[in-house]
Amino acid sequence: MAEFSTSTKDAGDINVIYLNGYLDAHTAPVLENTFSDLIDKRKYSIVVNFKNLAYISSAGLGVFMAFIEKIRENSGDIKLADMSDKVYNIFDLLGFPLLYEIFKSEEDAIKKFNEIK
C-alpha cells in the first residue's frame, strides 16, 4: 500500500503541515488527525505544503473541506502552497482556487498570513 505521512512546523502563529507520499481514502485519516491536533491546540493559521505529495485522491481533497469551516469561524485559514502542476490541476478542476488561496511557495503563504495581521 502506498505510504503517506505528515509533519508539522511551528512558524510562530502559523503552522505548516508537510504532506508526504500518497493521500487517498486509506491515508486520509492521517491528515485528519494532523488537522485535529492543530485545532485542539487552537492553531487556526495553517499552511499546507504539497511539495512532497505524489498523489491526491478525492477523499484526500475532502479532508480540507472537513476542517475549513471550523478554522474560518475562528478567523483562521488553510492556505495551500508548493503544489506540483499535476496536483494543482486536480485542485483546479474541482474549483479549489476559488475556495482556497494557493501559493507558489510556503513563504508566500506565510507572508500572506502576516500581512493580514
Partner 1 sequence: MLNLKSLKIYGLEIKTSVKFQSFMGLTIILFIFRLTVYLPGSVVLVSISELLVLLTFTSLYAYLLELVKAKHVNPLSFVMNVGILNAVIFFLLTFSDWILSSLMTKTEGMAINHGLIANLLSFIYSYIILSSLAIVFLAFRELYYYRQKKNVSTYFNTMIVFFGLTCVANLFNNVIEPNYIKETFLLISILLIVINSIKISWIAFIVKKEKIALLVLSIIISILFFTNFASASDNFHNQVVIQFSPMLNQFLKIIMIYGAIYFSILFFTTLFHIPTAEVYDRKAQEVSFLQYFSKLITESHDFSELAETVTEITTKVCNAEAAWIAWKDGDEFKSMANKNIGYYDSNNMTKFIFGSRLNRDFSRSFIVNLKKHKNLPQLSEGYFHFAAAPIRTHNEIKGFIIAAKKDDFMFDDEDRDAMNTFSDYASVAIENSRLLEELIEKERLEKELDVAREIQRRILPSKNPDFENLKISSVFIPAFEVGGDYYDFFEIDETKLGFIIADVSGKGISAAFIMAEVKGIFESLSKTIERPKDILIKANEILQRTLDRKNFVSAAYGLIDLKKETVSISRAGHCPILLVRNNIVENLRPNGIGLGLNFGSQFVDSLEEIELKLRGNDIIVLYTDGITEAKNKELEDFGSIQFEQILINNSNKNADEISNKVIREVTLFSQSKPQHDDITLVILKWKQKLKNDGDTEWQNSAPQLKTQVT
Q: How far is the CB of 81 from partner 1 (least distance, A)?
A: 20
Cβ nearer to partner 1, comparing 100 with 108: 100
Shortest distance, position 114 Cβ to partner 1, whole Å? 26
Q: Is 25 in the site for partner 1 (CB under 8 A)?
A: yes
Closest CA to 49 of 20, 74, 77, 82: 82
Nearer to partner 1, 98 or 116 (CB): 98
Q: Does 11 bind partner 1 (CB under 8 A)?
A: no
Contacting partner 1 (CB under 8 A), which of 33, 37, 52, 66? 66
C-alpha distances in Å from residue 56, one per residue of 14, 27, 75, 76: 24, 10, 27, 24
Q: Counting contacts by CB under 8 A, is residue 96 touching partner 1?
A: yes
Positive or negative torsion for Cα 108, 111, 115, 117: positive
What DSSP state is assigned to residue 57? -
As measured in angstroms, the least distance from the Cβ of 45 to partner 1 is 20
Strands 45-56 and 77-81: parallel
Give the separation between CA 40 and CA 8, rounded to whole angstroms. Answer: 14
Footprint on this chain of partner 1 (rule: CB under 8 A): 25, 57-59, 61-63, 65-66, 69, 86, 93-96, 98-99
